[in-house]
Amino acid sequence: MSNRPEKPVILADQVRTTLTGLEPLSRKVFLALTPPSSLDNRADVDQLRQNLERAFQSVRVPLSLMPKIPGLCRSSDWKVTATLAETGQGWELIDLEPGDTTPSHYGLAIDIGTTTVVAYLINLCDGTVLGHAADYNDQISLGEDILSRIRQAAEPGGLARLQTLIINTLNRLIKSLRASSLNSAQITAAAIGANTTMIHLLLGLDPASICRSPYIPIVNSPGLIPAGELGLEIHPLAPVYCLPSIGSYLGGDVIGGVLVSGMHKQSSVSLFVDIGTNGEIVMGNEDWLVACAGAAGPALEGGVTAFGMRAEPGAIDHVAIDGKSGRVEYTTIGNLPARGICGSGLVDTLAELFLNGIIDRTARFTQGREEYIVVPAAETAVGKDIVVTQIDVNNFMATKGAVNSAIDLLMENVGCHWQEISHFYAAGAFGQYLPVESAITIGLYPDLPRSAIVRLGNSSGEGARQVLISRSKRLEAETIASQVTYFELNANPSFMEKFVSSKFLPHTDLDRYPSVKERLESRA
């Protein structure tokens, strides 16, 4: 006679979720099942599923797992740990292990930048970062920037090559994070923050339409994809969640940043700015969010300025000019002889040149100069003077102008004034390494009370970590993506007008930079 007795089942996951509040993309549940008998003759798979469905609504058991279930239950005395993954519609059993393995529960938070890829190994029991690894995106070998990657994808076999390159990059990072202590199947979930093009290339989707009017991506919300379909070397059934994009030029990396900032939950208005080769700006509060994006110019990216370089050993990262002696004081990364100037060094240099009157408010060298020697040849590792030229300054002004114009235009469109901005969130490298005072001096950051300037660091990676471990954060990210109104800057005729008029240091309207004005006056 068939019976379905309600035996107590240990749901360690439930207890843990209650304690930590975590709701990761994958869950582990320790179960003490009932050995079948004539009194409880349920089939093994059915018993397992029914027990799981007491805590998880609707659990699919894939056929591929069924063959191992009877043997594993019996050899482990019916004490097993089930790993479940969100399907977007319910849950799927993705693994079954003997005994209680709930303390070994790992996920990946990933930030795929056009240049740099960072992966964080996350303990899904408590959400902590166990380690991180970063490396250049292997796709660089086929093109430095997004547009050249899109062009490469259009070549025969190009899309598959680009996908392989990013998967290889990720698998290398995963391998180094796992080291010898974890096997790949122990990582059972991943979340990814990246721009729309990087997501298309990761998924093997043609990005051609991204840069072609009307700029329609193939997908903004790809849903949950089994890692095995991508070739990611973690558990093949691990769900991979991509932070949703808003469009071709506003990706999940920005949504992740907004999520991390919390600006979408505040009553006061905030600005979120991420500047790389492209710049993305989001403004708003709990009631509304507007955004724009566009090419920001190359000034803050290493490799474009005459002596520009990435923030690597030998890069000049901090610069001060003694007003009286004119002597330059600088530091380099790793205290090595200087090889070039990275972003933070450039911002410092420009601010010091401006404060010392070496360049004027129109960003031109004074006294007939055409360049400025930051480090003389003798002190360098490259055997020649490391200089900042008028061209470098002009490049910077183009970037700053584009950012300022975009912000001004966004504010004008929603009828918002600088006085109303409660927080300025700076994301990415733009929000991690730049010297705050110098960035304000040259008008890259706004001249707000310093406590209102919040640097988020790698908010794309942190956003990925948050959605990896929290269902409500995933819903929040999706709500943000659905709420943002996107402004097409290129389509706006007053953009160029603003762009031209914003080419002053720190800004056309000096009154918007009271602390800089004060400093200039004190130096004069």
Which one of 25, 29, 31, 61 is in contact with its own copies (CB under 8 A)? 61
Binding footprint of its own copies, residue count (CB under 8 A): 53
Interface with its own copies, residue 163, by CB under 8 A: no
What is the smallest separation between the CB atom of 348 and its own copies, expressed in angstroms?
Answer: 38
| 64 binding its own copies? (CB under 8 A) | yes
Part of the chain binding its own copies (CB under 8 A), chosen from 209-217, 303-311, 425-433, 461-469? 209-217
Which is nearest to 340 in space by CA: 508, 524, 349? 349
Stretch that binds its own copies, among 60-68, 176-184, 305-313, 464-472 (CB under 8 A): 60-68
Q: Which stretch binds its own copies (CB under 8 A): 99-107, 241-249, 371-379, 389-397?
A: 241-249
| Footprint on residues 449-478 left by its own copies (CB under 8 A) | none
173's CB contacts (< 8 A; 6+ apart) are 110, 117, 118, 119, 133, 134, 135
If one asks whether residue 15 binds its own copies (CB under 8 A), the answer comes out as no
Assess 46 for contact with its own copies (CB under 8 A): yes
User: Are 65 and 100 within 8 A, CB to CB?
Assistant: no
Strand segments (E) across 250-391: 269-275, 278-284, 289-295, 315-321, 328-332, 340-341, 371-375, 386-389
Query: Using CB under 8 A, which of the segments 44-52, 254-262, 434-442, 451-459 binds its own copies?
Result: 44-52
Give the list of residues 6+ apart from residue 96 with CB closer than 8 angstroms, or none: 48, 65, 68, 69, 72, 80, 81, 82, 83
Q: Does 486 bind its own copies (CB under 8 A)?
A: yes
Where is 350: in which H helix or E strand?
Answer: helix 343-355
Our separate counts of H helices and E strands in the chain read 15, 21
Question: Which of 395, 396, 404, 362 minimizes the C-alpha distance to 495?
Answer: 404
Query: Of 23-31, 59-67, 333-341, 463-471, which part binds its own copies (CB under 8 A)?
Result: 59-67
Q: CA 205 to CA 229: how far, in whole Å?
A: 13
Stretch that binds its own copies, among 123-131, 206-214, 321-329, 460-468 (CB under 8 A): 206-214
Tell which positions 90-129 bind its own copies, by CB under 8 A: 90
**Rounded distance between C-alpha atoms, residue 177 and residue 134, angstroms:** 10
DSSP secondary structure string for all residues of 377-440: GGGBSSSS-EEEEHHHHHHHHHHHHHHHHHHHHHHHHHT--GGGEEEEEEETGGGTTS-HHHHH
What value, to the nearest 5°, has the Cα angle with vertex 265 and ends 264 and 266?
100
Considering the complex, state which of residue 69 and residue 374 has its C-beta at the smaller distance from its own copies. 69
**Binds its own copies by CB under 8 A, chosen from 128, 268, 472, 485:** 485
**Residue of the chain from 217, 276, 284, 297 that contacts its own copies (CB under 8 A):** 217
- 295 near its own copies, rule: CB under 8 A: no
Tell me if 146 contacts its own copies by CB under 8 A. no
Q: Which CB sits closer to its own copies, 42 or 473? A: 42
Residue 287 found at the interface with its own copies (CB under 8 A): no
Give residue 464's identity as a one-letter amino acid code. A
Give the footprint of its own copies on this chain (CB under 8 A): 1-2, 36-38, 41-46, 49, 58, 60-61, 63-64, 66-67, 69-70, 87-90, 203-206, 209, 213-223, 225, 229-230, 245-247, 484-488, 491
